[in-house]
Every structure is written in C-alpha cells, then in structure tokens.
C-alpha cells in the first residue's frame, strides 16, 4: 500500500520534473515576446540639422535574439535557406559558418545561443516565416534605450553583438559613417555606443554574414497601454 | 642691335652658359630630369616603430601595393597595465609606409574577421573624400581596395576614420606615411619612426590590470597616459634608439593626439634642421623644441657629437615625468671634451644671503604595486626593469660605470663585500669618496625613491648579473635596514 | 663690358624660361597601368599569405548572383501579376522611382527614354525598361498606368511595377538602392539606373543624372 502511494508520488514527481525540464529547454531555445509600450525616441542624428524625435508605436519584441535552435527549425522548413543551398546573392560564403552542416549545429554551436553569420535576407525571411518582421532602426534603438536588450556594446571591449534591422542602411544614409565632424549633426554627440552601431550598420550589405551579427524579431501590437512608460517634456 | 654678331656678347653668353650648367648640375646631382612615367609594380615595405622603411632609390614612379590589416589586440600599455588596442597591423603605432612622390598607390585595407567593428583609413597624404576613408570603409572579415596618386611629398599621419572617429583614434589606430620627394632629402645615417599619442583609461596612471577607455577623460582632454610608440617604455631600455657619435640622425615624428599638441624635445640635443609640419623644406636651423599638432608630423635632422643617453620627451614636462612621454637615444663612441667637458669642479657652497631656509626632502615610498612575490627569475626580471629605468643613467646599462665619475657595479669588490651596506646606499644615498676595484670616486648618489620590493629586486638582479657574487636580497632585509634609520655609511 | 652684361642677362632669361617649362611639364603625368605585371606579383604573394581569408565568390555562376532569385510577385501597370524572372532573355534597364517625385525621378525616366531612342529600332525587342515604385502606398497600378500614359511609355518596352514594402526593400538591397521616406511624404533616394543582362545579373549602374544617351548605351552594351 505504502509502496503503491510512494510509486505514484515518484511517478507524478518524475512526470512533473520531466515536463518542467522539457519546458525549460524549450524556453532556452525559444524566446518570449515582450510588449514594448509606445513612446518617443530621440534618434542619433538630427533631421536636417533640427533636433528631432520619433513616436514609436507599441510592438512586441522577442525577449532575446533568434537562437541557433530556432533558426534550425526554419531551415528544416525552408530548404532554400540551408547552408549548401543558399544563393550567394542572398548570403555570402560565411553564411552559418560555424554550423557543421545543413541540419547539424556541431558541438561548438549551442542551440540556445543567438544565431550568427546570417544575412539580412535570411533574417528577414526567417521573421516572415515566423509571422513576424525585423524591427526598424527606430524600434530597435528605442527598445535598446529602454534596456530591453541584455547585450551592451562596450566602447573597447572584445565583446560586441549587433542585430540586423529592417532599414539598417536607410536612416540618414546621406550622413557619411566616416565624417569626423559628425558629432555636430548628432542629437547626443556623447553617445559613442550609438555611433558604433550606426557605423556598423552603415558598413553592411544585405548579403553579409558576420560573426557578431544576429537578429531579433518584432510583431505589431494594437495594444495602447494605459500608461506610457516613457514620457519626456518635449 | 644685333647681339649675336658681337664677339664680346658671344663670349658673355658662353660664360653664362657654363656657369648655369655648373649650377644646374650641382643642384640636380647629375640626375637630369626624372621620368614621370609609372613603370612596374612593387609591394611597399612596411616597418614597425621605431624602424623606418629603407630609402627608395628608384628614379621613376611605380605602382606600389600597400596592404594593411586592421585588428584588435589586447596588449601592454605600461608595466602590469593592459588595454584593448585597435590597431593597423597588430601594433601601436601602425606600420610606417614609404612611397615616392608620383607613385600610384593601390591600397588594400583588410579588416580581420576577429574585429567587432568596421574600420577605414584616412591618409593625410591623399587628396580625395575622407583621405580614402569613404572608399576604405570595411566591415570585419572583408577587405577594400582603392588607388591614389602620391602627389604631395612629405610626412603624413594616417588614422582610422570610422564613426565614432575619436574612439578609433583613442584606441590606437594611427601611423605615418612618408611620401619621399622626387629629390630626396640629404642622406641621413640613421632614420627612426616615433609617434606620440594619448590614452584615456578609467583607472589612474599605473593602475594594474586591463583598463577600459574613459570617455569622460577623453572629453576633458585629460589623458592618463602620453606615450611614444604606443606604450610606456616603448622607446626606452631595450627599445631605445641608437646612433654613433658624429652620425646624422633623422627622426620622422608624428603626433596623433587625439587631443594634445606635442612639444617635442630631446634633452641635450639641438635639431640642426627642422622640416616643420612634415613638409619638404628646411624651415629652421638650430631648434630646441618642435611643436607638432595633433594629426601632424615633423622631420628633424641632428648630429650628436658626444656619447651618452639622451632623453626624448614631450617638454610639456608633466607628461614626460608623470604620464610616460619619455624615450631614449643611446649614442656610443669617443668622448669629446671640447664639445662637453663633464663636471669639472665640485666646490663647497654655503648659500647666498638669499637662502634662509633649508628644505629637507623626505623619501617618498612608491605605492606597492610591483611584482612582490614570484620566482627568482621573476624577481630578477623585475629588477632588470628597475635597473634599466633608474640605475643605468649613471652606472650604465652594462653596469661598468663611467671612469672617474660613477663607480662600476659589474664585478665590484665594494658591492660584493657587504650586502647590508649596498641596501643602505640604495635607500639613503651615498656622499663622498669611495674606492671600487682600486679606483677612487668622489661623487653623490641620491637616495632612490624605490619601495622595498623594488630595491630587493634590483639588488638581486645586480648581484646575479655582471659577474657579481650571486647574492639574493629579500624584501624583509630591505625593510629591516629601512627601519634602522640612517646608519653609518662611511 | 656692357655687352658682356647684355649677353649674360639674356642667357639668364632664356635659362629661367627653360627651367620653368621643364618644371611645368613635370606635372603632366602619364599613368600607365601594367595590369599583367600586377596580377603576377599579386598572385605570388597572395597564395601563401591570404588563402585562409579570401571569401570565395561564385561570380561566374548566373544562378547564384541573379536578382531573379527574388521570388516576389509584383503587379504591372495593367494589374497583371509579374515575377522578375519573367524578364529572362532581355537586357533590362531598371530604375526605382515614385510617381509623385517632383525632382529627380522625372530626370531618370527621361534619361531612360533618351536611351530607348538611341537603341536602333529593330533591336529594341532585345531590351526592356522597368520602373519599380518605392511608394506602394500611393502608387497603385492605376496610378502607374496614368504615369506611363502621361510620359508616352510604350507598354511593349516599359513595365511599371508595384509591390509590397518588403519586396521593394529586398530588391533595393539587392541593387544597392538607398531610400528613406521623409515626414512630408517625399523620399530621399539614390539616383540609380541599373543594367541587367539576360540572366538578371547586374552589368552596370549609372549614378550620374547628367548621362548622355551615348554613355548609357555604352554602359548597357559593356
């Protein structure tokens, strides 16, 4: 009798633990979506010499960059994005460079880590396959300024992680990324980390696949929160 | 009036022609008129500081291929201090490039896949958008190629010009390019490459470990380090530059800043010729100190007639004394007492009527951050550093001293006889006559502002080197003698 | 003595004139590119130094670098569905524009029309002119049709496409066209005419608004 109860208890415990573990590993590979409430964002560069601000609508942001595990599901479903199948015009030869094969990550690539060495075309295709889209630069920078990303660009450390944005080379493309006097055209000339991201984006082409470059997806939200989390006196 | 029909006029013309021919030949050195046609292709020789690429002997322009790789490396900024440098070619400053006026330069900028930001290059020698920066904007794992004509002879700075530009410069991305004039400057016996720059770290000068870039200090233009050739000590000790007495020395000096103007000076040297701002004309003769603006350069020629070690400094002198802007030029050869006598007299002086107070100096102990523990090899290595920054100035790098002035430490009977006495002398100094290896000396050694670790290390190094007795001096022995106050040294 | 002086002075003048002449002729330089030389030198060094880092580009493979790899579906000015690969077999002259553009786009279109006139009539069948709108919100097929009629763009040789914002962005990235919508409804954008070969590979691009039709024809037939 006692044994039977004990067995049942053990069984229940095992099932719970197993499913919890299953749930946990799912969580590690898959991100949750976070609601980024609407608000104002001051871009790095002034608009035609004028200080400017953008109203960013509410949107859902992935809680973390797309992982290798998630991207693997994508290439399983879409063979044309596999390592050996992808066309060079969509992704250069560094595409998924660290992966072992079309459908194998290899032992050095963790499923829960952010996927890197993916082109803009591939990132964009993934987001659309997942029913989402790439964030705009304004959305990305707005979320970054609200500390919704856990990765930071340190000014001279060895670790940096960048993310694709939908319009990565469109914001202020007439401003050269190499002009020394660019400080004068910036809303905050001391925001060196934003300058780094700006010049990085401006040096990209859409088929580049780089070691430190991944992406997060966003989705539109119709929710208008009762309280605006970000308000400034403009 | 018909000049040619006149005999005297013809003689005059002939005489003038001969004179002119002589003058022209004298000026051009029989070179005639150089070809301006581009012939052939070659790779540029690149050198790391303090070395300069060899003089280009060609008499015509050519196509020159330059390849520079941008790479981010963690390296030494000062003893025990590291920094994440962004570099051209893996070192700070970047490799020096030498081309000839009129050359067509095909420039390859390769950004290492290990970098995490895009880089580019702005060569001040280039006429074109951004000095090449727009054309060379390169993401990690890619390379860019652009071509320019080396139209303007002179010495120029190059640097990375990717946003944010000040950060790329502050992290170490700069070097020099020399466009050798068609008619080269007069030959020099020794040529060296020196680049001054600043570093801004969150920690103070000397704070140990990996230091982060400080934006606040950079904005305040208050550097933690001002250095020659990328690090404290990168132009002293084993890295000093060398010449022989009587040789002509030419320095190609750049200053990138990023903020400060340099007051470039060599103690005990007068620059015979200065090509100010890196131009091709001698702008002044006999100059003591040369201003080099941030993002500018200068070429200086001089001769040294007496042997010795000459300190290269930024004469904005706190930078030299407290921030690292010191280098050494070691000149070897025969003494020349006509040029410099050395100290001829040392007489007692009781003070003028103006002197009412006697200032006493106290020994400042240096903060305790040098290597304190470790193997005997580590201690000897640490001691060697102390020796080559402090003791060598008088006792010389080979520890043989200077006859009649500074006693030898190499194979010294005086030193080997009494370890405690030696510790005491380093701690408290020594004044008056002493006999070493049978030779008499009468001079002053000041107390050395070193801590116990440093004294133990330097004495252990000296005892283990130069044919000495191999004694080991410990920190505790130094501390014990320090606590005894002034013992009798005589 | 006076005559010696005259002789001397006259020679001084002549010599100075010659020196000034030589000096000025120095500045007109002749650049001769010795392509073969370079390739040889380059290869010998490149092999040992760079083999690890060179990204292999399969440039010769048409299928790899053709913009017809885009699978997007567009609408022409008559509302018919069009895929880019429908243009296979013809040389394409392509520009991205928007119909309400007050300044630059009309110049681009008239440059393209001048190019059309410069092509011999019997060869026109080998070419096709494509305008892609970057303003899908406003540029409906009807609007584009009106645009074509107003400008006498013959539907036999001209196609005006509209598509989704995503498809426009992908095509723009592929040909290196930059654009940004401004607050007042206009766009800031590149001035670009792109020439494609029969397989959809980029042959050439013109970024200059003041191109003669002769130059454009030369770029097209590179």
Look up the CATH number of the domain holding residue B108: 2.60.40.420
Whether a cis peptide bond, with omega within 30° of 0, leads into A31 is no
Q: Which chain B positions have a beta carbon within 8 Å of C10's beta carbon?
A: 3, 13
Q: What is the pLDDT of residue B27?
A: 58
Same domain, residue pair B286 and B200? yes
Q: What is the pLDDT of residue C2?
A: 62
Same domain, residue pair B210 and B114? no
Same domain, residue pair A12 and A128? no
Global pTM reads 0.68
Q: Which candidate, B234, B256, B254, places its Cα nearest to that of B326?
A: B234
Percentage of chain B modeled with pLDDT above 70: 88
**Residue ending a domain, choose from B183, B209, B236:** B183
What does the block give as tokens for C181? 């919508």
> What is d(CA C91, CA C125) in angstroms, rounded to the nearest whole number?
10
- pLDDT, tens digit, for every residue of B65-113? 999 999 999 999 999 999 999 999 999 999 999 999 999 999 999 999 8
Same domain, residue pair A110 and A87? yes
Query: A143: Cβ–Cβ under 8 A, 6 or more apart, which residues?
Result: A36, A61, A135, A149
Same domain, residue pair B151 and B231? no
Same domain, residue pair B164 and B109? yes
Same domain, residue pair A7 and A48? no
Q: Does A212 fall in a domain?
A: yes
Same domain, residue pair A17 and A106? no
Same domain, residue pair A96 and A210? yes
DSSP label at residue B237: G
Please say if the pLDDT value at position C97 is more than 50: yes
Same domain, residue pair B305 and B417? no
Please say if the pLDDT value at position B31 is more than 70: no
> What is d(CA C96, CA C109) in angstroms, rounded to the nearest whole number?
10
Q: What is the pLDDT of residue A48?
A: 62
Taking 3-state DSSP, the helix, strand and coil percentages for chain C, each rounded to the nearest 5, stand at: 45, 20, 35
Q: What is the pLDDT of residue B432?
A: 79
Question: Domain range spanning residue B177?
Answer: 41-183
Please name the chains neighbouring B, where neighbouring means 3+ C-beta pairs under 8 angstroms: A, C
Report, as an integer, the average pLDDT of B342-361.
56
**Which fold does the domain C62-220 belong to in CATH?**
Glutaredoxin (3.40.30)
**Would you place residue B241 in the very low, low, confident or very high pLDDT band (cuts 50, 70, 90)?**
very high
Q: Does B300 fall in a domain?
A: yes
- pLDDT, tens digit, for every residue of A54-110? 788 889 998 889 999 999 999 999 999 999 999 999 999 999 999 999 999 988 899
> What is d(CA B245, CA B334) in angstroms, rounded to the nearest whole number?
7
What part of C 176-195 touches A (C-beta under 8 Å)? 176, 178-180, 183, 188
Higher pLDDT, A64 or B341: A64
Q: Does A37 fall in a domain?
A: no
Residue of chain C with shortest Cα separation from A94: C55
Task: Please count the helices (runs of H) and the strands (runs of E) in chain A.
Answer: 5, 7
**Would you place residue A151 in the very low, low, confident or very high pLDDT band (cuts 50, 70, 90)?**
low
Same domain, residue pair B196 and B178? no
> Per the structure, how many domains does chain A have?
2
Same domain, residue pair A23 and A72? no
- What does the buried/exposed string (b/e) look like for B308-337 if buried means 16 or more CB atoms within 10 Å of the residue's CB? bbbbbbbbbeebbeebbbbbbbbbeeebee
Q: Which candidate, C58, C211, B22, places its Cα nearest to that of A91?
A: C58
Same domain, residue pair A115 and A212? yes
Same domain, residue pair B386 and B455? yes
Question: Domain range spanning residue A14?
Answer: 1-29
Same domain, residue pair B151 and B227? no
Same domain, residue pair B281 and B390? no
**Would you place residue C25 in the very low, low, confident or very high pLDDT band (cuts 50, 70, 90)?**
very low
Q: Does B384 fall in a domain?
A: yes
Same domain, residue pair A93 and A193? yes
Q: Which chain A positions have a beta carbon within 8 Å of C58's beta carbon?
A: 88
Same domain, residue pair B224 and B114? no
CATH number, domain of B459, equals 1.10.760.10
Q: What is the pLDDT of residue C36?
A: 34
Same domain, residue pair B196 and B179? no
Nearest-CA distance C17 → chain A (Å):
44
Same domain, residue pair A11 and A47? no
Q: What is the pLDDT of residue B182?
A: 93
Q: Does A226 fall in a domain?
A: no
Q: Does B24 fall in a domain?
A: no
Q: Does B15 fall in a domain?
A: no
Q: What is the pLDDT of residue C124?
A: 92
Q: Which chain B positions have a beta carbon within 8 Å of C4's beta carbon?
A: 8-9, 11-12, 15
- pLDDT, tens digit, for every residue of C129-185? 999 999 999 999 999 999 999 999 999 999 999 999 999 999 999 998 988 887 778
Same domain, residue pair A99 and A17? no
Q: Which chain C positions have a beta carbon within 8 Å of B102's beta carbon?
A: 29
Residue ranges of the domains in chain C?
Answer: 62-220
Whether residue A93 and residue C169 make contact (CB cut-off 8 A), yes or no, is: no
Whether residue B116 and residue A198 make contact (CB cut-off 8 A), yes or no, is: no
User: How do strand A54-56 and strand C202-206 relate by DSSP bridges?
Assistant: unpaired
Same domain, residue pair B168 and B241? no
What does the block give as tokens for B361? 């100096």
DSSP label at residue B388: I
Same domain, residue pair A22 and A69? no
What does the block give as tokens for A88? 């060079």
Same domain, residue pair A206 and A105? yes
> Per the structure, how many domains does chain B have?
3
- What does the buried/exposed string (b/e) look like for A180-202 if buried means 16 or more CB atoms within 10 Å of the residue's CB? bebeebbbebebbbbbbbbbbbb
> What is d(CA A209, CA A93) in angstroms, rounded to the nearest whole number?
8
**Would you place residue C127 in the very low, low, confident or very high pLDDT band (cuts 50, 70, 90)?**
very high
């Amino acid at each position: 009798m006692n044994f039977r109860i004990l067995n049942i208890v053990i069984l229940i415990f095992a099932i719970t633990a197993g499913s919890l573990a299953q749930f946990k590993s799912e969580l590690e590979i898959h991100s949750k979506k976070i609601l980024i409430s609407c608000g104002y964002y001051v871009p790095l560069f002034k608009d035609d010499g004028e200080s400017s601000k953008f109203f960013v609508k509410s949107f859902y942001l992935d809680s973390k960059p797309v992982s290798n595990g998630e991207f693997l599901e994508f290439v399983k479903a879409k063979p044309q994005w596999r390592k050996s199948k992808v066309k060079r015009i969509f992704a250069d030869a560094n595409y998924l460079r660290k992966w072992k094969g079309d459908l194998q990550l290899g032992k050095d690539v963790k499923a829960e880590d952010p996927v890197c060495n993916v082109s803009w075309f591939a990132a964009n295709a993934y987001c659309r396959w997942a029913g989402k889209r790439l964030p705009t630069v304004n959305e990305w920078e707005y979320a970054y300024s609200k500390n919704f990303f856990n990765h930071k660009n340190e000014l001279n450390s060895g670790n940096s992680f960048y993310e694709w944005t939908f319009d990565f080379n469109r914001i202020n493309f007439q401003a050269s990324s190499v002009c020394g006097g660019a400080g004068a055209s910036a809303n905050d000339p001391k925001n060196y980390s934003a300058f780094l991201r700006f010049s990085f984006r401006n040096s990209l082409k859409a088929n580049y696949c780089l070691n430190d470059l991944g992406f997060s997806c966003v989705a539109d939200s119709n929710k208008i929160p009762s309280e605006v989390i970000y308000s400034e006196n403009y | 009036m018909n000049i040619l029909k006149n005999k005297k006029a013809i003689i005059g013309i002939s005489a003038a022609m001969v004179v002119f021919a002589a003058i022209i030949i004298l000026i051009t050195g029989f070179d005639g008129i150089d070809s301006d046609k581009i012939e052939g292709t070659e790779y540029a020789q690149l050198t790391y500081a303090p070395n300069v690429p060899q003089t280009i002997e060609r008499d015509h322009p050519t196509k020159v291929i330059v390849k520079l790789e941008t790479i981010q490396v963690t390296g030494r900024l000062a003893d025990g201090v590291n920094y994440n440098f962004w570099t051209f070619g893996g070192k700070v400053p970047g490799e020096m490039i030498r081309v000839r006026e009129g050359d067509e330069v095909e420039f390859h900028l390769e950004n290492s896949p290990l970098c995490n930001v895009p880089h580019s290059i702005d060569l001040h020698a280039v006429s074109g958008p951004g000095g090449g920066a727009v054309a060379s904007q390169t993401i990690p794992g890619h390379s860019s190629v652009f071509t320019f004509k080396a139209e303007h002879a002179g010495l120029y700075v190059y640097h990375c010009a990717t946003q944010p530009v000040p950060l790329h410069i502050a992290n170490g991305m700069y070097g020099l390019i020399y466009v050798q004039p068609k008619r080269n400057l007069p030959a020099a016996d020794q040529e060296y490459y020196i680049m001054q720059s600043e570093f801004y770290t969150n920690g103070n000068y000397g704070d140990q470990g990996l230091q982060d870039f400080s934006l606040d200090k950079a904005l305040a233009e208050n550097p933690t380090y001002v250095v020659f050739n990328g690090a404290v000590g990168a132009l002293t000790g084993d890295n000093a530059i060398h010449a022989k007495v009587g040789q002509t020395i030419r320095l190609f000096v750049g200053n990138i800043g990023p903020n400060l103007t340099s007051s470039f000076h060599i103690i005990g040297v007068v620059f015979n010729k200065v090509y100010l701002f890196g131009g091709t004309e001698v702008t002044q003769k006999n100059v003591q100190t040369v201003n080099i603006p941030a993002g500018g350069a200068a070429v200086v020629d001089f001769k040294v007639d007496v042997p010795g070690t000459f300190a290269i400094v930024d004469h904005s002198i706190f930078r030299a004394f407290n921030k690292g802007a010191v280098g050494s030029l070691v000149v070897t050869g025969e003494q020349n007492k006509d040029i410099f006598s050395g100290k001829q007299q040392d007489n007692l002086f009781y003070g003028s009527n103006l002197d009412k107070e006697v200032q006493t100096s106290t020994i400042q102990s240096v903060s305790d951050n040098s290597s304190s523990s470790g193997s005997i090899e580590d201690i000897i290595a640490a001691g060697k550093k102390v020796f080559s920054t402090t003791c060598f100035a008088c006792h010389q790098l080979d520890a043989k001293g200077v006859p009649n002035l500074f006693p030898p430490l190499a194979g010294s009977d005086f030193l080997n006889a009494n370890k405690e006495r030696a510790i005491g002398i380093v701690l408290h100094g020594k004044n008056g006559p002493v006999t070493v290896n049978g030779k008499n000396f009468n001079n002053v050694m000041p107390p050395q502002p070193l801590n116990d670790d440093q004294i133990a290390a330097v004495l252990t190094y000296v005892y283990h080197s130069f044919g000495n007795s191999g004694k080991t001096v410990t920190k505790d022995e130094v501390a014990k003698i320090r606590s005894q106050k002034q013992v009798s040294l005589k | 003595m006076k005559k010696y002086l005259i002789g001397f002075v006259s020679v001084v003048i002549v010599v100075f004139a010659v020196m000034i002449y030589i000096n000025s002729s120095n500045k007109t330089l002749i650049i001769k590119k010795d392509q073969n030389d370079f390739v040889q030198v380059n290869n010998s060094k490149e092999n040992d130094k760079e083999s690890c880092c060179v990204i292999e580009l399969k440039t010769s493979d048409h299928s790899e670098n053709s913009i017809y790899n885009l699978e997007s579906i567009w609408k022409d000015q008559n509302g018919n569905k069009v895929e880019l690969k429908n243009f296979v077999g013809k040389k394409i002259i392509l520009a991205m524009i928007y119909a309400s553009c007050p300044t630059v786009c009309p110049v681009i279109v008239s440059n393209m029309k001048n190019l059309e006139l410069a092509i011999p009539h019997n060869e026109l069948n080998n070419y096709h002119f494509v305008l892609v709108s970057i303003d899908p919100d406003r540029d409906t097929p009807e609007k584009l049709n009106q645009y074509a009629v107003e400008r006498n763009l013959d539907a036999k040789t001209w196609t005006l496409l509209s598509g989704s914002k995503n498809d426009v962005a992908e095509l723009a990235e592929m040909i290196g066209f930059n654009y940004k919508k401004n607050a007042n409804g206009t766009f800031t954008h590149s001035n670009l005419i792109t020439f494609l070969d029969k397989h959809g590979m980029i042959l050439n691009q013109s970024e200059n608004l003041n191109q003669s039709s002769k130059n454009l024809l030369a770029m097209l037939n590179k």
